[in-house]
Amino acid sequence: MTDMAPLSVDGLRKAYRRGPVLGDLTFALRAGEAVALLGGNGAGKSTLLGCITGDRVPDRGGVRLCGHDPFSDLAAAAQCMGFVPETPFLYPELTVGEMLQFVAAARAMDEGGAAAETARLLELLGLAGAEGTLCRELSQGMGRKTAIIAALLHRPRAILLDEALNGLDRPSSARLIAELDARRAEGAAVLISSHDLEFVGEWCGRGLMLEPGARWTMLEGEAWEQWKRAPSLRAGWGD
């Protein structure tokens, strides 16, 4: 399945009682790229991420992760995906080490390889020595780092980050970005939502803008360059 796009979304629709949120949304993440997920509160970013991860059922349309449907082939789709939500969930009664061992087992990773990669990522993000700390005792930043390691541990091809840099110190942020760049060089793709518009403008090659009323546009080429000169949570189209 390495020839499949890390993520493809085709004709996705989702509406709630207050009205439509996603309207015929279609895009794909290409291997090696980073795409910014943009939009204000209520624009549909969380809904889109939920439809991709299988947490929310779309009204119409499809999602594929490395060619796998997250609703009919969840295990294979999950193997392709690494997701860090805005509010990460960690099992509070587990230690950091136990949490990551659980994730590795769930992803059917080789025990020796998983241990080596866990140690490398813990060192990378400044958590070496924290393996025995209960997840409920972690600070917000340490908890986010643990969630990031859990998402990256199995080397997914589609990496979804929802405000994942929040609460990270600058050195850890820089090392994480370097790690993501290395993953992109190997063919992974990143979809990232962040309030740091200048950062995503510099790091990402294009941006998916969502707006209320199920409107959306993919900003690329000259449109992306124009947005980067004056970053905002609107694409700039007229009503």
Q: Tell me, what's the pLDDT at 167?
A: 84
Distance CA 103, CA 125 (A): 18
Q: Tell me, what's the pLDDT at 233?
A: 86
Distance CA 160, CA 50 (A): 11
Cα 224–86–221 angle (5° rounding)?
10
Residue 239 pLDDT > 60: no
Residue 46 pLDDT > 70: yes
Q: How many other β-carbons are positioned within 10 Å of the β-carbon of residue 18? A: 8
H or E stretch at 206: strand 206-211
Q: Which domains does the chain have, with CATH numbers?
A: 7-94+155-229 (3.40.50.300)
- Polymer length in residues for the chain: 239
pTM to 2 decimal places: 0.94
Helix (H, G, I), strand (E, B) or coil at 179: helix
Q: In what order do the strands lie in the sheet with 158-162?
A: 81-84, 158-162, 189-193, 34-38, 206-211, 215-219
Dihedral sign (CA 177, 183, 184, 188): negative
Distance CA 226, CA 235 (A): 10
Query: Average per-residue pLDDT in the chain?
Result: 94
Which tens digits make up the pLDDT trace of 98-134? 999 999 999 999 999 999 999 999 999 999 999 999 9
Q: Tell me, what's the pLDDT at 1?
A: 38
Over range 201-226, report the average pLDDT: 96
Over range 7-24, report the average pLDDT: 95
